[in-house]
Structure 1
Amino acid sequence: MAQVLNQQAIKQRITFAFAGISIFVLMQNHFGEIAGVLTAVFWTVTSLAFESAGKKVGSLSVNLIRLVMAFFFIGLYSWIVRGFFFPGDANWFQWRWLAFSGLIGFVIGDLLLFQAFVVIGARISMLMMALAPPFAALIGWLLLGEVLAPMSWLGMAITMCGIVIVILKRETTEENGTVVKKIKSNYSVPGILLALGGAFGQAAGLVISKKGMGDYDAFSATQIRVLTGIVGFSILFFFMRRWPKVWEAVQHASAMKRITLGAFFGPFLGVSFSLLAVQHTQAGIAATLMAIVPVLIIGPAILLFNEKVNWKEILGAVITVGGVAFFFL
């Protein structure tokens, strides 16, 4: 009996050893892809936190406060890990391109996206944001000379189809006494253009970050981008005379808890891991993996907000996960 138990224990140890080796090899060979998926997870948390905070104190105030918090989060991390609170070891080339990417991604891209939320709503805005991966692939080809393999293009197409299925909703309407089921398309052209601008800004910021970062530390590179975002929003708030609103937001305890949570998982972990992703894989692949956020939100929406999920959303989630799997083949 003891011999049988020993044999079972040995088999379990061998199984665990092989599993550990497999995970290690997967992480080594697909580190960029794994970082992209983790980015989507982090952005799911931050989107829920910022949505709640934005309803309390306004999205513009949340935008600035989250960047200030993220700057100190990254600085503390870098000081512990690298001995630098401020990224003074970056060269002029890195500062120039990373600052430019921060201006494009954080200031212009996010500003357009948040305004699109107001004009056409979050659902259609996120649908347009699903165009960020092909934008990133196109910009990556033009700026970095990256060429995606056929399998990666297929994975991108499948993933985007899954996202579209989840986000789009077929509504029932009545026309001339007849019940008609169709997808609504009566959205304003300015709203669609704003969302497209947000998608393009996110994609361009990601690719430009890759060009400027090189092999530089991803967290410190994020800090440079965040600093540019802070400066950009500060100038914007000066002309818009929004500083009193920011002070009101800082005094709102409930909103500040959510902003702190969102800043930790968003500009700190999320954006830093997005740079790790583009550092270790192609920009188009990284952008596609990050675009699964609308699907990942389904679970928390059920658990936290008791939202009902239909078969179409489940199908879209399955298709999206299947598309992601193609990047690991």
Structure 2
Amino acid sequence: MAAYWGEIAALLTAVFWTVTSMAFESAGKRVGSLAVNLIRLVIAFFIYAVYTQLSRGMWFPFDATTYQWFWLALSGLIGFVIGDLLLFQAFVVVGARIAMLIMALTPPFTAFISYFMLGEVLSGMNWLGMAVTIFGISLVILKRENSAQKNGQKIRKRLTSAYSLPGILLALGGALGQATGLVLSKKGMGTYDAFAASQIRVMTGIVGFAVLFVFMKRYGRVWAALKNGAAMKRITLGSFFGPFLGVSFSLLAVQHTKAGIAATIMSIVPVLIIPPAIIVFKEKVNWKEVVGAIITVLGVAIFFI
């Protein structure tokens, strides 16, 4: 079991992200994705402060080196500010279930980036797992439709998206941002404490979003969100399972296994999210989406063969 600690941490990350994606989708539709992003990071920072004070005897990562601060801060800017900003807007546009399914493309992005930055080389079975995962995603988001009709007859079918193209592009941007952030985290973290490393990323994210709010002049939305009790409950829940548990366990995962493998296992959220999406949001899920999600999980399972 110890030999698979990185894989187990990645699997737990997927569970945590399932909870947080549902919570943030609901909160984002109430108060906007930008406000949710900033508030959840501030809440997460204080959770980290309490945890690291109890576990390490310091509420702030005073012992991090300049090297670690640089790479982890850069990871926070790309992963949290850019990647999550795009992902959270995708939650609003196409919903958490479809957005997280597209986010399963994070593994190949991670593998390519880690190859060039970290020199990590994946095996043939690893690449097969990624290919199966991508096929499962494509089965869900792509469809064929008739491009024209002539004399009442259907002619020339084309492949198109079954969902909002802007929403899909937002989720793709989120996947690329998360992949880049994950690789940069591994580069900067080394053997450093994963929770303290996550705290550095969270602080950078707070600064990044604060700058965005200054330029966009949207602080009014933050105050409105803080007054929305229902939204704040969801943001608090999502902050605990996302920026705190989810991010920290994702760093534990990449610390104990290859970044590409960890990212692929974390991508099973599309399957985990189907039951709560049906029960909580009353979403209708067709057979193709279920099959695509199952194929995605099979792709992940290949990594354990």
Do these two structures clear the TM 0.5 threshold for a shared fold by scoring above it? Answer: yes
Q: 1:72 aligns with which of 46, 58, 63?
A: 46
In 1, are the aligned partners of 2:141 and 2:161 still within 8 Å (CA)? Answer: no
Shift in CA distance, 66/286, structure 1 to aligned 2, threshold 3 Å: same
1:307 aligns with 2:283: yes
**Partner residue, 2:176:** 200
Partner residue of 1:4? none
The 5 Å alignment of 1:173-212 reads 176=149, 177=152, 183-185=159-161, 194-212=170-188
d(CA) in 1 for partners of 2:166, 2:24: 24
Contact 2:103 2:174 in 1 (8 A): yes
Q: Which residue type is aligned with residue 259 of structure 1?
A: I
Aligned with 1:184: secondary structure?
A: strand
TM-score (norm 2): 0.89
The two structures, once aligned, show a CA RMSD in angstroms of: 2.7
C-alpha distance after superposition, 1:18-57 (max 9, x if no partner)? xxxxxxxx2x111111111111111110010001111111
State which of 36, 54, 74 in structure 2 corresponds to 1:100.
Answer: 74
Larger radius of gyration: 1
Matched, 1:225 2:198: no
Stretch deviating more after TM superposition (290-299 or 44-53):
290-299
**For the structure 1 residues 128 and 80, does the alpha-carbon distance in structure 2 shift closer, same or farther, using more than 3 Å as the test?**
same
Partner of 1:168: 141
1:102-138 Cα shifts (integer Å, max 9, x gaps): 0111112222334556677767755653332111101
Structure 2 equivalent of residue 130 of structure 1: 104
Q: Tell me how far apart the structure 1 counterparts of residues 61 and 240 of structure 2 sit (CA, whole Å).
A: 19
Give the corresponding residue for 2:273.
297
For residues 147 and 117 of structure 1, the distance between their equivalents in structure 2, rounded to whole angstroms, comes to 33
Identity value in percent: 68
Which residue in the other structure is 1:152 paired with? Answer: 126
Tell me by how many angstroms 1:190 deviates.
7.0
Q: Deviations over 1:64-92 (max 9, x none)?
A: 00000011111111111111111111111
- Name the amino acid aligned to 2:202: V
Matched, 1:84 2:63: no
Q: Report the CA distance between 1:271 and its aligned residue.
A: 0.6
Question: For structure 1, which runs of at least 5 residues remain unmatched after alignment?
Answer: 1-25
CA shift, 1:196, in A, is 3.6
1:239 and 2:215 matched: yes
Partners of 2:283 and 2:52 in 1: CA distance: 39
Q: Which is further off, 62-71 or 280-289?
A: 280-289
Cα distance in structure 2, aligned partners of 1:71 and 1:259: 13
What amino acid is the match of 1:226? V
Q: 1:189 to 1:295 in 2, by over 3 A?
A: closer
Residues 41 and 186 of structure 1, relative CA distance in 2, 3 Å threshold: closer
Residues 260-283 of structure 1 show CA distances to partners (whole Å, capped at 9, x for unaligned) of: 000000000011111111111111
